[in-house]
């Protein structure tokens, strides 16, 4: 069957209600700074940094020029048994802003690939140290770790898992930390919930510590609806993993590169994992790229303990791609030169007060925040969960504001170049829309 008469038919869109979208498409044509422009010429204030990723705003000239220049000099170079200079320079730059001793950088092309890479590194590490029976991987309910088979196995969002069979064997899950009864309308990290980390001891007792390779959590869970870690929770996870020799992985695909007011959530929250995954803000989303920062001891155990030849049988054709590396280097320059991490930290009190002003608005049952992230949870419409938030998403776009919704939660994560006036506009618009949505 030919599709020429339906220009939208061929593209099977990701994480989209394709039938509904193609009946009423909402299309973006261009972007600059804090705004998208729709195909009909309307300005759309970006309340989500694209998809948690355009942290320095859109179409930054220095990133564009770096990509253009590199494309004219070196469109591609393999990094299997060969290389080019840019990924070495970039890895050094990334290592310099990672937490102490996470100095080894493995490049990927997405957050999903970063997660699967981190899980494989953890497994390889234990095998290299003579503990090959450590194969279990522990995630968390409501966790999102991309869409690779490893990531959805340790992930804890049912809708992302149920179509795909049994997934990886040996995965288990910690309970999520969301507790409206105890922590609704917390400003920053909620006071209650550190004890939930102790469930890892139950899992250790069930399976045996010598079977568990890694625990992976998002320091702040984004895609599931902005779940902020309770005070003391990550610290307790770190203690238990250290006690039992378990690799602790922070999935910072969303939180790295300024989102919480520092280079990483680990830095801001004062808890250092063994591995950090990243993507999104690494290149300001201009070219797909991810990376994994690994503790020196883990790298050295794998590399120095291997026989001559390839030490880790893993990689991607585009690992350290020239255009992606150039975009990332230009992005890191922007973050440094414009002080965007500190800007996020400085704006976070104003952001916090603004989003919490929505408390008491129609349908709002919780507001939560950390850094320049917020989740506004709505009471589900009786008999139609998720419909209220999706209706607000559409009305927001049509009125000139891009938000993200997951379930009945509105998530905000704007570019870090935002001004107080942008915050006021976002929050004011959402407040008005809440009155207009049944």
Q: What's the pLDDT at 3?
A: 57
* 352-377 mean pLDDT: 98
Q: Look at strands 28-32 and 212-217 and give their pairing.
A: unpaired
Q: Does the pLDDT value for residue 4 go beyond 80?
A: no
pLDDT above 80 (res 1): no
| Domains and their CATH numbers in the chain | 18-56+339-436 (3.90.1150.10), 65-337 (3.40.640.10)
pLDDT at 154: 97
Q: Tell me what pLDDT residue 59 has.
A: 98
Taken as a whole, the chain contains a residue count of 438
- State residue 430's pLDDT score: 98
Contact 365, 379 (CB under 8 A): yes
Distance from chain centroid for Cα 40: 31
pLDDT value of residue 275: 99
List for the chain the helix, strand, coil content (%; round to 5): 40, 15, 45
Q: Are 237 and 251 in contact (CB under 8 A)?
A: no
Mean model confidence pLDDT for the chain: 97
Q: Looking up tokens 């797909």, which residue turns up?
A: 288
pLDDT-derived band at 183, boundaries 50, 70, 90: very high
> Do 225 and 218 meet the contact criterion of CB atoms below 8 Å apart?
no
Angle made by CA atoms 141, 200, 271, in degrees to the nearest 5? 90
CB 148 within 8 A of CB 115: yes
Q: Which of 398, 409, 406, 405 is nearest to 436 (CA)?
A: 398
Confidence band of 295 (pLDDT split at 50, 70, 90): very high
User: Strand 373-378 vs strand 364-370: parallel, antiparallel, or unpaired?
Assistant: antiparallel
Residue the block writes with tokens 């973050």: 335
Distances (CA, A) of 226 to 128, 134, 266, 408, 429: 37, 31, 17, 12, 20
Q: How far apart are CA 435 and CA 301, in angstroms?
A: 58
Per the structure block, which two tokens stand in for 402?
């891009």
Residue 2: per-residue pLDDT: 57
Gyration radius (Cα) of the chain, Å: 22
Which of 166-170, 402-406, 431-435 bottoms out in mean pLDDT, i.e. has the lowest?
166-170
Per-residue model confidence (pLDDT) at position 5:
79
Structure tokens given for 250:
């922070």
Calpha distance 57→52 (Å, rounded): 11
Assessment of whether the complete model's pTM goes beyond 0.95: yes
CA angle 206, 207, 213 (to 5 degrees): 135
Residue range 70-99, pLDDT digits in tens: 999 999 999 999 999 999 999 999 999 999
Q: Place 166 in a pLDDT band, splitting at 50, 70 and 90.
A: confident
pLDDT above 90 (res 230):
yes
Please choose, from the candidates 157, 173, 230, 181, the residue with its C-alpha nearest in 3D space to the C-alpha of residue 206.
Answer: 173
Single out the residue of 231, 214, 221 nearest to residue 271, CA to CA: 231
**Contact between residue 264 and residue 229 where contact means Cβ atoms under 8 Å apart:** no
């Amino acid at each position: 069957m030919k599709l020429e008469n339906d220009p939208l038919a061929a593209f099977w869109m990701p994480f989209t209600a394709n039938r509904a979208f193609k009946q009423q498409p909402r299309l973006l044509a261009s972007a600059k700074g804090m705004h998208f422009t729709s195909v009909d010429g309307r300005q759309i204030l970006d309340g989500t940094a694209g998809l948690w990723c355009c942290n320095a705003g859109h179409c930054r000239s220095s990133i564009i020029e770096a990509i253009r220049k590199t494309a004219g000099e070196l469109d591609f170079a393999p990094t299997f048994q060969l290389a080019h200079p840019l990924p070495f320079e970039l890895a050094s730059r990334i290592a310099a802003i990672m937490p102490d001793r996470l100095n080894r950088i493995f490049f990927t092309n997405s957050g999903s690939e970063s997660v699967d890479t981190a899980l494989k590194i953890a497994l390889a590490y234990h095998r290299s140290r003579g503990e090959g029976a450590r194969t279990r991987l522990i995630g968390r309910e409501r966790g999102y770790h991309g869409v690779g088979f490893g990531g959805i196995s340790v992930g804890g969002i049912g809708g992302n898992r149920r179509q795909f069979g049994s997934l990886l064997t040996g995965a288990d899950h910690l309970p999520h930390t969301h507790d409206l009864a105890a922590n609704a309308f917390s400003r920053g990290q909620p006071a209650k919930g550190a004890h939930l980390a102790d469930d890892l001891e139950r899992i250790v007792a069930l399976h045996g510590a010598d079977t568990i390779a890694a625990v992976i959590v998002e320091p702040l869970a984004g895609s599931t609806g902005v779940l902020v870690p309770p005070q003391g929770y990550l610290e307790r996870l770190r203690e238990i993993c250290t006690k039992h020799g378990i690799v602790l992985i922070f999935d910072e695909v969303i939180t790295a590169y300024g989102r919480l007011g520092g280079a990483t959530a680990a830095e801001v929250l004062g808890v250092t994992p063994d591995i950090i995954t990243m993507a999104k803000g690494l290149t300001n989303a201009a070219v797909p790229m991810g990376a994994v920062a690994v503790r020196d001891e883990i790298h050295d155990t794998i590399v120095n303990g291997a026989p001559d030849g390839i030490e880790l049988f893993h990689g991607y054709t585009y690992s350290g791609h020239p255009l992606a590396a150039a975009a990332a280097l230009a992005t890191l320059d922007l973050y440094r030169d414009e002080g965007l991490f500190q800007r996020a930290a400085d704006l976070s009190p104003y952001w916090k007060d603004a989003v919490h002003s929505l408390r008491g608005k129609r349908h709002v049952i919780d507001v939560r925040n950390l850094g320049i992230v917020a989740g506004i949870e709505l009471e589900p419409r009786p008999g139609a969960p998720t419909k209220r938030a999706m209706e607000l998403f559409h009305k927001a776009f049509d009125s000139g504001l891009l938000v993200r919704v997951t379930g009945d939660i509105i998530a905000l994560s704007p570019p870090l170049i935002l001004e107080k006036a942008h915050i006021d506009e976002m929050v004011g618009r959402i407040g008005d829309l809440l009155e207009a949505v049944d």
